[in-house]
Structure 1
C-alpha cells in the first residue's frame, strides 16, 4: 500500500503541466540524439546537463528531463542501426544483425515498429521491477557499514572492467586514472592540498560535471569530426509505415524473455545495456535454434536486443538510486547530476527526497508511453535527422557544452579544464581505453576513500575489518568473480560480427 501511495504522489508531481512538458521534450530530444550514430545515451545526457542548470530547473525537473532523454536515446539508437547498419550506440549494435537485413528486404518500417514495441515492453516492465525492487534494496542497504560500502564500490569497478570492457587491464588503468584524479584537492581529514601543483583553482578538486562534459561531449566532437566528416546518407529507403500485427504477436514472448535478461544485466553495477542487449540476443538465438533465421532478417533478432537494452536501462536505475552505485555509464552521469543538486543517492533517498524519487519513477512510466506514441507516427521525422551534416551538428554540441558549463560555474578555468578532459577522452578512445571507468573513479573516488578511512578508524587500523561481515565477504567474492570470469568466458561468448555492406562505416 505504501508503494501505491508513493506512486500516486509521484504521478501528482509528474503530471504537472511543466514537468509533463519537460518529459515530452526530453523524449523528443533523446530520440534525435539516439538516432545520430556515435552519440548515444551517455553523451546525450552529458550534453544536456548544463542546459538543465542554465534553464534553472529544480532537482525533480532536471531528473525528469534527463531521464526522458536517457530513455529516448535508447529508443532512437535503433533508427540508424536498422536504416544505416550503423549502431547509434553500443547497445544498439546487436539490432543491426537482423534489423538491417529486414530493411534491405523492404521491411524497414516493420523493423522500426517492432523495435519500438520491444523498447516499450522492455522499459515498462523494467520500471515495474524498479518500483518493486528499489524500496526493498533500500531497506537492505541500512545494513551497510563502511566496510560493506568499500567492497560495494570495489564491485562497481571490477564488474565495469570485467564485463563492460574488452580489456580488463585497460579498464583497470582507466579506473586508477579516475581514482587518481579524484584525489586532487584538499584532504578531507587533514585539510592539506594534494596534487594541486600550487593552483588554488584545484583546491576544491575536479568538478565531475566538467570532467563528464569534457570526456563525453567534447571528445565526441573530436571523434565525430575525424570519423564522420562527410554528410550521412540513408542506406535504405523508408517506405510506408504500417503495424505488423503478426510479427508483433510472434515476437511478444521474445520481448518478455529478453526483458528479464536485460533487467538482471542492468541491476549488476557496471554491466549496463550493452551486456543486456548481447545476452538477450544470444539467449533468444539459442532458444529458437534452427527454427529461426537470425542474422538474415528475423524479427525476433530485432525484438530481443531492443527489449534487452531498454530493460537494462531501467534496471541500471536500481543500484544508482538505492546504493549510490551507477549501473551504467549513463547512470554514472545522472549520479553526478544528483550530487551536484546536493541529493545523495542511497537508502535514505526514498525517505528524505520521496517526492523527487517517485516523481522520477512516475515520469519514466509516462515517458515510455510518450515514446511509444511518438516513435511510430513520427519515425519518418526522426529519420530525417540522419541527414543533418556534422558541420551543423557539431558546432551546436560544442556551443551547448561551453555555454552550459560557464553558466554553471562562471569560471574560465573550468572551461579550460573541460577542453583538457576532452583531449584526454579523445586520446583514451583512440588507444581503446574506456572512459566510463575514469568518470566512475572521479565520481566514487572520494566516497570510496572516506569509506576506507572510516573502516580503518573503527577497526583501529585492522585491515581484516574489511572482511568482517557476510555482506562484505559476498561483495568481495562477487568483485573478484566479476573481474576474472570474463577472462574465461569471453572466448566462448564472442559477439557475432556485423554483416559487411556498402553502407557500413568504420567505427572507432
Structure 2
C-alpha cells in the first residue's frame, strides 16, 4: 500500500497533476456554488478538452469537478435556499433556516468540515476496498459481466428518485441509441441513416451536451436573479462554531460517511440517495426530531458527509468492474474508453499509475477544497450575485465550440440541437435523462458480453444460470424489480389504512 501510494503521489504531485487538480476542484466549486449550471453539463462541455490531455490528468480534472461540486453545492443551498446541485437539496431544509437565524457562517464552516470528513473516509474505503474487489473480479467472465451490468441498469431504474417506470423507460431509450453504429460481429450499419459520422455510434459528447447542457440553459433562461439571504459580510469569527455545535456534529458526520460510502459503491444509487438516507437516519436517532427543518446542525453535517463520501466510493465499481454507478460515472467511463483505457479488474495491476494517481489526487483535491471553501466564503457570496443572463450566452458558446472541436463535424452540432430538444421534452415529461446515459454507455458493452456468452455456451442462454455469480446477480436484479414494483403498493395500502373512517 505504501509503495502504491508513493507511486500515486509521484503522479498527483507532478506539475501537470497539481495544475489539473487545482483547475478541477476550483471549477467544481464554482459550478456547485452557482445554481443552474449543473455538474453533468459542465463535464459535457469540458469533455472535448480532455481528449488532448494525458488520460490520468484528464480524469484528475474531471473527478475534481465532480467532488468539487459536491463540496461547494451547499453554499447556494444555505444562502439562497436553492441547491447548487441536486445532491445538496436536502441541505436547504436546515441550512437556510440557520442563515435566517444569523448563523450562515457556522453552517458554511460545518458544511466544509463535514464534507472533508466524508471525503477522507470515502477515500480510505476506496483505497482499501478497490484492490480487493479487483482481485475478486478477476474471476468474472462474460456471463458475470453481462448479469452485473443488467443489475446496474435495473438498480438505476428502480432505485432512482421519481417514477420507476419513467427511469426504466429512459434506460431503454439509451439502449436504443447505443445500437446506432457498426455491428462489431457482422459489420452491418445499424440506424446510421447513411451518415459516416455515425458509423462509430452517436458521439458521447454530443448526446451529453444535448441532454444536460441545453436543457439547463433553456430551463434557467427566464430565471429571476436571486440574492443571498444575508447581505452582511461573513467574517471568519462568525464562522467559528461553539462546543455544542462540534459535539452534536461528530456522530452525524461519522454515520453519514458510512452511509454515503455504502450507497456510493452500489450501482444505481449514488450520492443523492445517500444524502437523503443520512437525513432520515439523523432525524430518527435524534432526541427531538421536531428540531429538523428549523436549523438543526445535524441536518447539515450528516447529509453533507454522506454526499461527499458517496462521490469518492462511486469510483469503486467504475474503476474495478467497469460498471458505472450513475450518469457522471458513465461519462468518466466514456472518457476512459475514448482514451483507450479499459476499466476493470486488471486496471489496478496494469495501470497502477492511473489508479493510484487518481486516489492521491483525491486527497490533494480535498485539502484544496477546504482552502477554497473556508477563507473564500466572501468570494462565493459575491459570485452568487452574477446575473444569469450574463452566464448562459457564454455557456452556449462553450457548448458549440466543445462539440465541434472533437470531430470538426457539422452533424455533431445538429445532434446537440436534436438531443437538446429531446432533453427538454424529457424534463417536461418528468423523464430522468441520467439513466439514458447509463443505457447508452452500458448497452454496447452488455451486447458484446451477451454475444460472447452465447458463443461460449453455443446459443444456450439458460446456461448462465449454471454460473453461481451470474445466478446471484440475476437474483439480485429480480429482487430489486420486485421491491420497486411491490414497495409502492405497500405504501399506498398503508396510507389507505391510516385514513380515518367516515362515520
Alignment correspondent of 2:170: 174
Q: Is the contact between residue 326 and residue 438 of structure 2 (CA under 8 Å) also seen in structure 1?
A: no
Structure 1 residue 198, shift from structure 2 partner: 2.6
Q: TM-score, normalised by structure 1?
A: 0.93
Residues 492/74 of structure 1: CA separation in 2 closer, same or farther (3 Å cut): farther
Q: 1:469 aligns with which of 459, 467, 470?
A: 467
Alignment correspondent of 1:144: 140
Q: 2:231 aligns with which of 217, 237, 247?
A: 237
Distance, in Å, in 1 between the alignment partners of 2:8 and 2:439 is 32
Alignment correspondent of 1:381: 379
Partner secondary structure for residue 143 of structure 1: coil
Unaligned runs of 5+ in 2: 493-503
The question of 1:74 aligning with 2:75 is answered no
Partner secondary structure for residue 289 of structure 1: coil
Partner secondary structure for residue 387 of structure 1: coil
| Aligned pairs for 1:306-325 within 5 A | 306-325=304-323
Distance, in Å, in 2 between the alignment partners of 1:367 and 1:437 is 28
Partner secondary structure for residue 136 of structure 2: helix
Q: Is the contact between residue 78 and residue 92 of structure 1 (CA under 8 Å) also seen in structure 2?
A: yes
Alignment correspondent of 1:500: none
Residues 97/408 of structure 1: CA separation in 2 closer, same or farther (3 Å cut): same
The question of 1:202 aligning with 2:198 is answered yes
Structure 1 residue 41, shift from structure 2 partner: 2.6
Partner secondary structure for residue 24 of structure 2: helix
Q: Is the contact between residue 170 and residue 432 of structure 2 (CA under 8 Å) also seen in structure 1?
A: yes
Distance, in Å, in 2 between the alignment partners of 1:121 and 1:452 is 41
| Aligned pairs for 1:352-431 within 5 A | 352-431=350-429
Structure 1 residue 487, shift from structure 2 partner: 4.1
Distance, in Å, in 1 between the alignment partners of 2:80 and 2:491 is 26
Structure 1 residue 273, shift from structure 2 partner: 0.6
Q: 1:22 aligns with which of 12, 20, 23?
A: 20
Distance, in Å, in 2 between the alignment partners of 1:493 and 1:312 is 27
Answer with 391-400 or 27-36: which moved more.
391-400
Alignment correspondent of 1:153: 149
Distance, in Å, in 1 between the alignment partners of 2:128 and 2:488 is 33
Partner secondary structure for residue 226 of structure 2: coil
Residues 439/472 of structure 1: CA separation in 2 closer, same or farther (3 Å cut): same
Structure 1 residue 491, shift from structure 2 partner: 8.0
The question of 1:101 aligning with 2:97 is answered yes
Structure 1 residue 148, shift from structure 2 partner: 0.9
Q: Is the contact between residue 270 and residue 329 of structure 1 (CA under 8 Å) also seen in structure 2?
A: no
Partner secondary structure for residue 138 of structure 2: helix
Q: 1:222 aligns with which of 213, 218, 224?
A: 218
Q: Is the contact between residue 40 and residue 77 of structure 1 (CA under 8 Å) also seen in structure 2?
A: no
Distance, in Å, in 2 between the alignment partners of 1:146 and 1:354 is 24
Structure 1 residue 492, shift from structure 2 partner: 8.3
Structure 1 residue 488, shift from structure 2 partner: 4.5
Unaligned runs of 5+ in 1: 495-508
User: Which 4+ residue blocks in structure 1 deviate beyond 6 angstroms?
Assistant: 491-494
Alignment correspondent of 1:254: 252
Distance, in Å, in 2 between the alignment partners of 1:493 and 1:379 is 43
Distance, in Å, in 2 between the alignment partners of 1:26 and 1:493 is 42
Distance, in Å, in 1 between the alignment partners of 2:418 and 2:271 is 29
Partner secondary structure for residue 73 of structure 2: helix
Distance, in Å, in 2 between the alignment partners of 1:125 and 1:407 is 39
Alignment correspondent of 2:495: none
Structure 1 residue 391, shift from structure 2 partner: 1.6
Paired residues in the alignment total: 488
